Amino acid sequence: MKIICVNCPMGCPMEVQVSGQEISVSGNACSRGAAYAKTECVNPVRMVATTVKLKNAAIAALPVKTAKPVPKGKIFDCVKALKGVEVCAPISIGDIIVPNCAGTGVDIVATKNVGFAG
Ligand code: SF4
């Protein structure tokens, strides 16, 4: 399997071979690439970034993201769990908006400071 490492701008093209329980990686310039390739084969994960409704503020939507990457198969569940979520200003970066989102064990956190409107 061919895969491009996304951990830095070098974008190393890697070749991953799976043989039973063994995963070998070539083409990576550093160990981060190998770790990324192995995770992509075994349990691919992604960050989720979206918005939730916001009240009492000059803007109507609060940008949020997962505090850590979640399994790829749980992305839709996380987005679904955030539908209907509404928070009130003030909000600080890093505030937990939804703990343990969709049972992933990963919190949804605010990515923007927002004060009261007016
Ligand atoms: S393998 Fe290392 S150097 Fe290459 S893109 Fe990934 S992080 Fe960057």
pLDDT of residue 37: 96
**pLDDT tens, 16-25?**
999 988 999 9
pTM of the full structure = 0.82
HSE-CB of 40 using CA atoms within 13 angstroms: 19
Q: Is the pLDDT confidence value at 118 over 80? A: no
Residue 106 is classified by DSSP as: -
- Report the residue among 2, 3, 4, 5 best suited for mutation to probe ligand 1: largest number of ligand atoms under 8 A from its CB: 5
Instruction: Please provide the size of the chain in residues.
Output: 118
Which residue segments constitute the domains of the chain, with CATH numbers given? 2-42 (no CATH), 49-110 (3.10.530.10)
**Burial grade of 17 (CB within 10 A; 0-12, 13-18, 19 or more):** exposed
Protein residue closest via CA to atom 1 of ligand 1:
33
pLDDT attached to residue 21: 87
- pLDDT tens-digit profile of 29-53? 999 999 999 999 999 999 999 999 9
Q: Which amino acid residue places its CA nearest to atom 8 of ligand 1?
A: 8
CA trace torsion 41, 34, 111, 107 (10° rounding):
50
Q: Is the pLDDT of residue 74 over 80?
A: yes
Q: What is the mean pLDDT of residues 100-104?
A: 97
Residue 38 CA to residue 22 CA, distance in Å, equals 10
How much is the pLDDT for 117? 81
